[in-house]
Amino acid sequence: MNCLLNNPAEFAALVQRFFADRLLQQKNASPRTIAAYRDTFRMLLCYAEREIGKPPAKLALVDFDLTLILNFLTYLESERHNSVRTRNARLATIRAFAHYVALQCPEALLLTQQIQAIPMKRFEKPMLSFLSREEMQALLEAPDKQNWCGCRDHILLTLLYNTGARVSELIGIRVADVELTVSPSVRLHGKGRKQRTVPLWKETAAKIRHWLVFANLKAEQALVPTRQGLPMTRSNVAERIALAVNLAANQCPQLQGRSVTPHTLRHTTAMHLLQAGVDITIIALWLGHESPVTTHGYIEADLSMKERALAKIALPPEIGQVRYHPSDDLLRFLEGL
Residue 112 has pLDDT above 80, yes or no: yes
Same domain, 38 and 77: yes
Same domain, 19 and 95: yes
- Residue 43: phi and psi, rounded to 5, are -65, -40
Q: Which helix (H) or strand (E) holds 65?
A: none
In a domain, residue 319? The reply is: no
Q: Please state, in angstroms and rounded to a whole number, the distance separating the CA atoms of residues 226 and 104.
A: 44
SS (H, E, C) 141-198: HCCCCCCHHHHHHHHHHHHHHHHCCCHHHHHCCEHHHEECCCCCEEEEECHHHCEEEE
Q: Which helix (H) or strand (E) holds 199?
A: strand 195-199
Same domain, 308 and 240: yes
Q: Pick from 108, 113, 91: which is nearest to 7 by CA?
A: 108
- Domain ranges, residue 48: 3-116
- Residue 220: phi and psi, rounded to 5, are -85, -5
In a domain, residue 174? The reply is: yes
Residue 139 has pLDDT above 50, yes or no: yes
In a domain, residue 335? The reply is: no
Q: Please state, in angstroms and rounded to a whole number, the distance separating the CA atoms of residues 189 and 205.
A: 19
Q: Which of 73-87, 145-159, 265-279 has the lowest mean pLDDT?
A: 265-279
What integer pLDDT is reported at residue 292 of this predicted model?
66
Indicate which residue of 152, 154, 166, 174 is catalytic.
166
In a domain, residue 318? The reply is: no
Same domain, 270 and 138: yes
Helix and strand numbers (H, E) in the chain are 15, 3
Q: Please state, in angstroms and rounded to a whole number, the distance separating the CA atoms of residues 322 and 201.
A: 54
- Residue 155: phi and psi, rounded to 5, are -65, -40
Indicate which residue of 152, 240, 266, 272 is catalytic.
266
The answer to whether residue 174 is catalytic is no
Same domain, 168 and 142: yes
Same domain, 11 and 95: yes
Instruction: Choose one of 63, 82, 116: the last residue of a domain.
Output: 116
> What is the tens place of the pLDDT at every residue in 315-329?
555 555 555 565 677
Same domain, 294 and 180: yes
pLDDT mean over 185-214? 90
Q: Please state, in angstroms and rounded to a whole number, the distance separating the CA atoms of residues 188 and 179.
A: 12
Question: Total domain count for the chain?
Answer: 2
Same domain, 287 and 180: yes
Residue 331 has pLDDT above 90, yes or no: no
Task: Give the mean pLDDT of the chain.
Answer: 88
Relative orientation angle of helices 66-78 and 31-52, to the nearest 10 degrees = 100
6 vs 303, higher pLDDT: 6
What integer pLDDT is reported at residue 275 of this predicted model?
86
In a domain, residue 84? The reply is: yes
DSSP 314: S
Contact, 28 vs 78, CB < 8 A? no
194 vs 209, higher pLDDT: 209
What's the Cα-to-Cα distance from 143 to each of 146, 154, 251, 265, 269, rounded to whole Å?
9, 6, 12, 16, 19
CATH number at residue 188: 1.10.443.10
Same domain, 108 and 167: no
What integer pLDDT is reported at residue 277 of this predicted model?
84
**pLDDT bracket for residue 197 (50, 70, 90):** very high
Q: What is the dihedral of CA 237, 134, 179, 234, to 10 degrees?
A: 10
Q: Please state, in angstroms and rounded to a whole number, the distance separating the CA atoms of residues 243 and 234.
A: 14
The answer to whether residue 154 is catalytic is no
Same domain, 92 and 165: no
In a domain, residue 331? The reply is: no
> What is the tens place of the pLDDT at every residue in 228-251?
989 999 899 999 999 999 999 999
Q: Pick from 144, 317, 171, 176: which is nearest to 247 by CA?
A: 144
In a domain, residue 232? The reply is: yes
Length of the chain: 337
In a domain, residue 95? The reply is: yes
The answer to whether residue 266 is catalytic is yes
Q: How do 185-189 and 178-179 pair as beta strands?
A: antiparallel
Indicate which residue of 191, 218, 306, 332 is catalytic.
191
Considering just the CA atoms, what is the radius of gyration of the chain in Å? 27
The answer to whether residue 263 is catalytic is yes
Same domain, 224 and 93: no
Same domain, 48 and 180: no
- Residue 222: phi and psi, rounded to 5, are -65, 145
What integer pLDDT is reported at residue 318 of this predicted model?
56
Residue 307 has pLDDT above 60, yes or no: no
Residue 300 has pLDDT above 80, yes or no: no
What's the Cα-to-Cα distance from 227 to each of 13, 147, 188, rounded to whole Å?
41, 12, 23
Contact, 131 vs 236, CB < 8 A? no
Instruction: Choose one of 63, 83, 116: the last residue of a domain.
Output: 116
Residue 70 has pLDDT above 90, yes or no: yes
92 vs 314, higher pLDDT: 92
